[in-house]
Structure 1
Amino acid sequence: MVAFVMRKIARYFIILSFWLSLTACQKHDSVEYYHFSGTTMGTEYNIKFASVPEVTELKLVKDEIATLLNHLNHIFSTYDEASELMLLNAHPINQPYPISHELYTVLDTSLDISQATGGKFDVTVGPLIESWGFGASKHNAEVPPQEIIEQGLAQIGYQGIELKSNFYIVKSKPVVIDLSAIAKGYAVDQVANYLTNLGIEHYMVEIGGEVGTKGLNPKGVGWRIGIEKPNSGLQREALQAVDLSNHGAATSGDYRNYYEVDGKRYSHTIDPTTGYPITHNLASVTVLHKQVMLADAYATAFMVMGADEALRFAEANNLAIFVVTNENGTFTTRYSSAFKPFLL
């Protein structure tokens, strides 16, 4: 008996504020807030910010952010064969290849986190995800034979990526790089930097559930989000409210993307070190960090680790994380010491 569940995006936030249209505004202490949204990286983005006297052309701000996001999408897309990442993937092994500063930065951070987490975060894991039926091809839900899993393990490995000076990269094996677990966080950081450079002191940037904030929301308090209760159904409800206090946030979970075969559940989260889906009871993990790129990547790594290992890592590295475990249908929450100041 096979059951298949594949709902849109396991990584999601309930944002505890209503997005406004570009033409509408709210105020606190005579500060106006504006909002606009769009699509990028296969998902949606929402940006809310307070105007400052120097920023009078709201349309220009909107257009420049759209241009920035289009630029980043053309670098990191795995659906555009002409993207910089896909051209890199097609490049032969053992031959240096020049890459942009943006791609170099994200790959460098990815490799750092891969090493720090013992390979629990690996941007080359794609072949294993495909083998288990969770990739772009999305074949029928079935457990792959052991030889297919072993083939997948042989195809992956962040160790096959070497970054050289002057923004060059060399692949020592034909790995396929997918930066979906970190690129959106990086994009949030870049939009946030753009707004900061304009002199805007209050904003929230959200791309596909990854959130970056600065300053105060329209009510004059810190930006707040709600961590979603990991229900597999369509109904969504907040489990814990969080004051971000100039931090970013990312959540990863396995509760909306899985299949069952003969009563056994197989998650879309694949452990790159074993080749198999995770089997622990961690339902979701939320990471807060001033760099959303890091929150994004760590959320994926912790989802692979499981709650106990993730909390140990977080305590050792002073990271703010909030985990939700599923104990036979009952959700239990725990958090690291660094997360406690953000609780509401």
Structure 2
Amino acid sequence: MNQNARKNLIYSIVLLLLVLVVYFFRSLNSTPADTSNFTDANGLVNLSGDFLGQPYLILYHGAQKVEKSSIDSLLSVISQKTALTSPTSDLYRLNQNDTILNPSPEWIQFIKNAQQDHEQSNKAWDPSLGPVQAVWSFSASGGARLQDSVDVGQVLSKVGLSKIILTDSLIRKTTSSLFIDFTDYAQGLALDQVSAYFEKSGISNYFLQLGRYRLAKGVNEKQELWKSKLSYPGDSLGLRKEGILALHDKAYASAGDFNTYYTQDSVKKAFQLDPRTGYPVVHGLLAVSVLTSSTRKAGVLSESLMVQGWREAMALDSANAEVEMILIYHEKGSGIKLYASPELRKYLSFPVK
């Protein structure tokens, strides 16, 4: 190596060391930016994070302040009960064992609430449906297909929240193969609990979002109702358009997708199984959005209506003043139709005939 080349090499090494030293000291004196918690010029606070694999968004404004760590601590209590793959969660232990001795009162109450929701839905909502879902496949071109040589009745015997017996000292499954997935149910419950925490903290203007759930109270930073985007069919062929729903102190949950379906007997049908029969539904309800007093109720009701159908949904809408809904369905001989509760229509950015 000649003298000039050696000098250039030494110079390059010294320069690299200087850059590394400067970077090291800057790193020591800097604080990483936290993008999950900030306040804009209008006083709107933004909190974001993750719960059971789904991102959450919390917006609020007011004199009171809430730390993100308080929200995450609240959510961790629920995840410790319902996480599917964590060996320390209550649900994991229940799925792995036939009997749980001396369960916590909170876990017993959780199961009781789920069983009550299951019964009130006429068993159309069932978070233990997994074994039945595993033997069916859906496609737009091929429709609903059952795996060869499968006895649906035998598979269905492994499903049902009523197959759990509760006492003050134990939880027992009467069917050892019963497997429950409370992930979605826990998300609805989580927003209800965050809402209760905000109310207790004196915060009355907030918007919560997690997965298919929304919950809004009061007004936004512009003193308007909180807004949420939703898709709707722009014509009878199902052309997707984007609209706005103003949430008037309501919890919201959606289920289904009106652009995902197969056609059978001239009816467009959702990729939806009935947990009571083990077979696909026979009606043309493709998507539903429910607004009611809590996200837990909205979630269970939206899923159960996807099983029961649009006629049953409209009957419920007429009979229950506490529930509002948007239905997207197909009726034999007609195109895709849009229905919204009469009292809800003024909160939509698009017209409903």
The alignment status of 1:69 with 2:75, answered yes or no, reads: yes
Asked if 2 retains the 8 angstrom alpha-carbon contact of 1:181 and 1:300, the reply is no
Cα deviation for residue 309 of structure 1 reads: 1.2
Q: Structure 1 CA distance, aligned partners of 2:172 and 2:270? A: 32
8 Å CA contact retained: 1:21, 1:34 = no
Aligned residue for 2:127, secondary structure, equals coil
**Aligned partners of 2:183, 2:259: CA distance in 1, in Å?**
17
Higher relative contact order (CA 8 A, sep 6+): 1
Q: Secondary structure at the match of 1:88?
A: helix
Asked if 1:23 is matched to 2:16, the reply is no
Give the equivalent residue in structure 2 for 1:170: 172
Query: How do 1:89-108 residues align onto structure 2 when only pairs under 5 Å count?
Result: 89-93=95-99, 98-101=103-106, 103-108=107-112
Which residues in structure 2 correspond to 1:90-239 (within 5 Å)?
Answer: 90-93=96-99, 98-101=103-106, 103-133=107-137, 142-145=145-148, 147-165=150-168, 168-174=170-176, 175-229=178-232, 237-239=241-243
Q: Secondary structure at the match of 1:71?
A: helix
**The structure with more radius of gyration:** 2
Asked whether the 8 Å contact 1:46–1:206 carries over to 2, the reply is yes
Distance 1:23 1:116, change over 3 A: closer
Decide whether the 8 Å contact of 2:290 with 2:326 is kept in 1: yes
Residue 210 of structure 1: how far off its partner (Å): 0.5
Query: Match of 2:48?
Result: 37
TM-score (norm: length of structure 1): 0.76
Aligned with residue 48 of structure 1, among 51, 54, 59: 59
- Shift of residue 325, structure 1, vs aligned partner: 1.1
Q: Tell me if structure 2 keeps the 8 A contact 1:78–1:85.
A: yes
Q: Distance in 1 between matches of 2:271 and 2:86?
A: 23
Tell me how many residue pairs correspond in the alignment. Answer: 302
Secondary structure (helix, strand or coil) at the match of 2:281 reads: coil
Post-superposition CA distance 1:226-266 (Å, at most 9, x none): 332269xxx97424x332221110000045767899x9988
Structure 1 residues 339 and 165, CA gap change in structure 2 (3 angstroms)? farther
Cα distance in 1 between the residues matched to 2:158 and 2:261? 23
Structure with the larger helix share = 2
User: Cα distance, 1:142 vs. partner?
Assistant: 5.0
Distance 1:42 1:195 in 2: 23
2-side partners of 1:338 and 1:105: how far apart? 35
- 1:259-317, CA deviations, whole angstroms, 9 ceiling, x for partnerless residues? 899x9988542210111222422121111112111101111001111111122133333
Q: Residues 2-59 of structure 1, C-alpha deviation per residue, up to 9 Å, x if partnerless? A: xxxxxxxxxxxxxxxxxx97334152xxxx111021221111110101141x43xx6x
Structure 1 residues not aligned, in runs of 5+:
1-19, 135-140
Give TM-score scaled by structure 2 length: 0.75
Residue type of the alignment partner of 2:103: P
Q: Which runs of 5+ in 2 are unaligned?
A: 1-34, 139-143
Match of 2:26 in 1: none
Tell me the distance in 2 between the aligned counterparts of 1:46 and 1:226: 14
Per the alignment, residue 314 of structure 1 pairs with: 317
Name the SS for the 1:314 alignment partner: helix
* Cα pair 1:321 1:336 within 8 Å, conserved: yes
SS of equivalent residue, structure 2 residue 183: coil
Residues of 1 paired with 2:260 and 2:89: CA distance?
27
Counterpart-to-counterpart distance in 2, 1:117 and 1:40: 26
Q: Classify the secondary structure of the residue corresponding to 2:37.
A: coil
The residue that corresponds to 1:79 in the other structure is: 85
One-letter code aligned to 1:42: G
Q: Tell me the percent identity.
A: 25
Which amino acid is 1:33 matched to?
L
Alpha-carbon displacement from aligned partner over 1:163-208 (angstroms, at most 9, x marks no partner): 3347x53322222122234211101111112222221121111111
Distance in 1, Cα, partners of 2:47 & 2:302 = 27
Q: Distance in 2 between matches of 1:150 and 1:226?
A: 41
Match of 1:269 among 267, 272, 279: 272
SS of the residue 2:133 aligns to: helix
Counterpart code for 1:115: E
